[in-house]
Amino acid sequence: MSPVRCSPEELRTLFLFEELDEDQLSWVAEAARVESAGPGPVYQEGMPAAQLYVLLDGELVLTRRVGEDEVELVRTSRRGVYAGAVHAYLGDRVPQRYANSMWASARSSFLVLDAADFAAMVSRWFPMGVHLLEGLLFGLESTREAVGQRERLMALGTLSAGLTHELNNPAVSALRSAEALREVTAELEGTMSRTLSAATPEEIARLTALRDEGHRRARSASPLRPMDVVDREDALADWLDAHGVEGSWELAAAFVQADVDVDWLESTAAAASDLDGALRWFAAAFSAAKLLEEIQDSARRISTLVDAAKQYSQIDRAPFQDADVRQLLDSTLVMFQHRIDRRIDVVRDYAPDLPPVPCCPAELNQVWTNLIDNALDAMGGHGTLTVGARREGDAVLVEVGDTGPGVPEGIRERIFEPFFSTKPVGQGTGLGLDISWRIVVQKHRGGLRLAGGPGDTRFQVRLPGRPGGARPAAAPQQRPRPPAGA
């Protein structure tokens, strides 16, 4: 049976062909055919892109697979819209496969043009247009890649500067404490030697017990309020002055740090034949222990930061692995500590039953970086940052929320567009959310969407888990970049 054709006159009513001349319309009329389809699938995502489809009547729906869900991109009954092999004229320079699936929601008719014919037609009739489109498509992709790399480097530079600052503080503290410890150790050796050399074995035992009691008190002491510190120092200094001990204020400060009181001083006076020497020995011992504790805390802080940096960067780890998103989120928050001051409250809301997710952890950390950075910018230095994760069947839903003013209704549909930014010029590339979308949706087959409003803005990232369990249906989400022509 001969294929059904469109007449040149009918082709001219379609906006795709309305500017063609008579010879060109005749060529299309001869090369194309009319086909009916539906209700049901017309072509499937990932199949070789063999035809260009132009809607004549009916309704088409374009969808894309996101994880286990089929997400609707476009639904239209506008006559003349087209989809399918729209990039056939680029040949093997791009993958010639359908980027989405097309369905006919009702019985529909299409003008169908084979990809090879469409490519020849465009290349022959519009050579300058082909060059312009090539430059636009490849130039946009090149620009996106270059700016995307810049975006990643900017984020890394910001986090590296913050990490350097965070590492410098405990390093300087440890160095300062080590220098002070050198002086205190010399004092400790001298006073201990002088005090114990003239003491009896019984006196040495009593003094050692008192020293050990001071160390135990220091380890179990609760932090004091500044006014309580002043009151205790006054009381101890008065006692020391009354017993003729010189340098009472320096000694009192060391004894307050050890959480000892006047009763302990009375016990020392009763046990020591050389009260001044014993007190100076104890003060030096308590100060040395305090300085060692500060060095230990600083080293632990540095170790924690280095571990967080390794977790964030995924150094020495497989690029694709099962990961605990809580660890990834926590390591990213550590990298942001330089930006989270006392006016920002951080709420971690992690469910205890989260399954590991198969992922590229380093790339997901880039997503958390973009979302947390945007949230902090939105709040302007004060508010509540909420980072949560909960289980949805075999999947994990991660939310990054803030109490900022929210995303205006008029631009909510554009926030995932490449190069779209609400930040001032020079402060944003407009690719943070675009990169995040690509990582979550395209690479991990997950979902990324904006939820909430002013005072409760949340970006939700849904990551599929391992196969084997029933997965809940995801809420439909509109793909922010609809395919060309539809």
> Mean pLDDT of residues grouped by 10 in the chain (486 residues)?
85 90 92 92 92 94 73 86 89 85 93 93 80 64 56 57 69 84 87 85 90 87 84 90 89 87 90 89 90 84 70 60 89 80 89 89 86 88 92 91 86 69 52 80 85 90 70 37 35
Q: Is 434 helix (H, G, I), strand (E, B) or coil?
A: helix
190 and 288 inside one domain: yes
CATH assignment at residue 53? 2.60.120.10
User: Could you tell me if 214 and 260 are in contact, meaning their C-beta atoms sit under 8 angstroms apart?
Assistant: yes
42 and 80 inside one domain: yes
322 and 429 inside one domain: yes
326 and 459 inside one domain: yes
Distances (CA, A) of 60 to 69, 245, 373, 450: 19, 95, 39, 26
| 12 in a structural domain | yes
Q: What is the pTM of this model?
A: 0.47
Spatial separation of the C-alpha atoms in residues 344 and 382, rounded to whole Å: 5
Write down the pLDDT at residue 30.
92
Write down the pLDDT at residue 329.
92
Write down the pLDDT at residue 156.
58
Write down the pLDDT at residue 154.
55
| 132 in a structural domain | no
Write down the pLDDT at residue 475.
35
| 468 in a structural domain | no
Write down the pLDDT at residue 110.
96
| 133 in a structural domain | no
| 156 in a structural domain | no
Write down the pLDDT at residue 426.
44
329 and 436 inside one domain: yes
173 and 275 inside one domain: yes
269 and 296 inside one domain: yes
| 117 in a structural domain | yes
Write down the pLDDT at residue 146.
52
> What is the total count of domains within the chain?
3
109 and 30 inside one domain: yes
User: Could you tell me if 12 and 79 are in contact, meaning their C-beta atoms sit under 8 angstroms apart?
Assistant: no
- Which residue, 274, 304, 334, sits at the end of a domain? 304
Spatial separation of the C-alpha atoms in residues 465 and 68, rounded to whole Å: 11
41 and 111 inside one domain: yes
Is the preceding peptide bond at 39 cis, omega within 30 degrees of 0?
Answer: yes
| Residue-range definition of the domain harbouring residue 215 | 163-304
Write down the pLDDT at residue 389.
95
451 and 402 inside one domain: yes
CATH assignment at residue 438? 3.30.565.10
121 and 172 inside one domain: no
Write down the pLDDT at residue 177.
86
Question: Cβ-count burial of 412 within 10 angstroms (0-12 exposed, 13-18 middle, 19+ buried)?
Answer: middle
DSSP string of 304-327, one letter each residue:
HHHHHHHHHHTTTS-SSEEE-HHH
Which residue(s) pair with 390 in the sheet?
A: 397
| 194 in a structural domain | yes
| 116 in a structural domain | yes
- Which residue, 275, 304, 333, sits at the end of a domain? 304
Residue 430, CB half-sphere, CA atoms under 13 Å: how many?
Answer: 13
Mutual angle of helices 361-379 and 275-313, in 10-degree steps: 110
240 and 354 inside one domain: no
